[in-house]
Amino acid sequence: MQIISGTAVAEKVLEECRREIAELTAQGRKPGLAVVLVGDDPASRAYVRSKDKKCRDLGLHSVKLELPSTTTQEELLAHVQALNNDPAIHGILVQSPPPKHIDEAAIVRAIDPAKDVDGFHPVNVAKLALEDPTGFVPCTPLGCQRLLIDAGIETSGAHAVVVGRSMIVGKPMALLLMAKGKGGDATVTVTHSRTRDLAAITRTADIIIAAIGRPHFIKAEHVKEGAVVIDVGINRVDDPTTEKGYKLVGDVAYDEVAPKCRAITPVPGGVGPMTIAMLMANTIKACKQA
């Protein structure tokens, strides 16, 4: 059984990024990423800090905009517009979720699609569906695809079952796996919380992408012998035995599922590190296309 290390593959992606940034900087073009955080959600703050640190490590131009939770929709839109107009910024990311009074969909639509390195703008969603390589793909599914490619998992002709239908992971993941070419050409089934007899469907899968946001949801009964399982879930569960009082677990019951698998990603250390690595790769792509 192969454990697919996202930490190792992410390091490889970041090494590629480091080389490309050095080349671009030598040509006088330094990729720039702006991350906007509204409010003081601790998890979001930690994410933004790690993105900013990664940018600086790689030699990217990084702008971290931290706004109070009282920021209005109009003020936030003005900040986005200013970043759209800033030639030093190639990628813009507004950290999700914003405070309740902010219309997140309107903010996403306000970002210049050429700078939408999160891949959530309707233009980029359409480009993914149309297999237009100039579009930006959401970082998490892009990272999952890269893990499959690097682990030598053949997707062509395989039956892939995506568990979850969010715009962040499920839907773009299905489109990526269906697309023509490397890491694609799969036959894809998308399942979700309303699917009847889920286990009967997932048991037919050569590849399972678990992205339903429920701890230990995928059990041994959901998986056939020799399947490949990519666990996108990052769930906090109480654990009094740990120093923090909680631990991070995936959407897959790892201990019972892993013995049946040909390959599986752990949590933590699987898909998580890939998300930031692909964000850096998307920012470099945006700089090249600018």
Q: Is residue 166 exposed (0-12), middle (13-18) or buried (19+ Cβ within 10 Å)?
A: middle
Return all residues near 144 (Cβ < 8 A) that are at least 6 apart: 169, 173, 176, 209, 230, 232, 271, 274
Alpha-helical runs (H) found in the chain:
6-26, 42-58, 73-84, 104-110, 122-129, 139-150, 170-178, 198-202, 254-257, 271-289
239 catalytic? Reply is no
State the residue for tokens 């030699």: 59
- Indicate if 118 belongs to the active site: yes
Confirm whether 51 is a catalytic residue: yes
Nearest Cα to Cα of residue 63 among 24, 37, 29: 37
CA distances from 269 to 121, 159, 273 (A): 28, 25, 6
CB 164 within 8 A of CB 158: no
Catalytic residue among 115, 116, 118, 206: 118
Active-site annotation holder among 95, 115, 116, 251 = 95
Q: Which amino acid is at 226?
A: G
Q: Which of 272, 282, 277 is nearest to 11 (CA)?
A: 277
Strand partners, 66: 37
Q: Which residues are catalytic?
A: 51, 95, 118
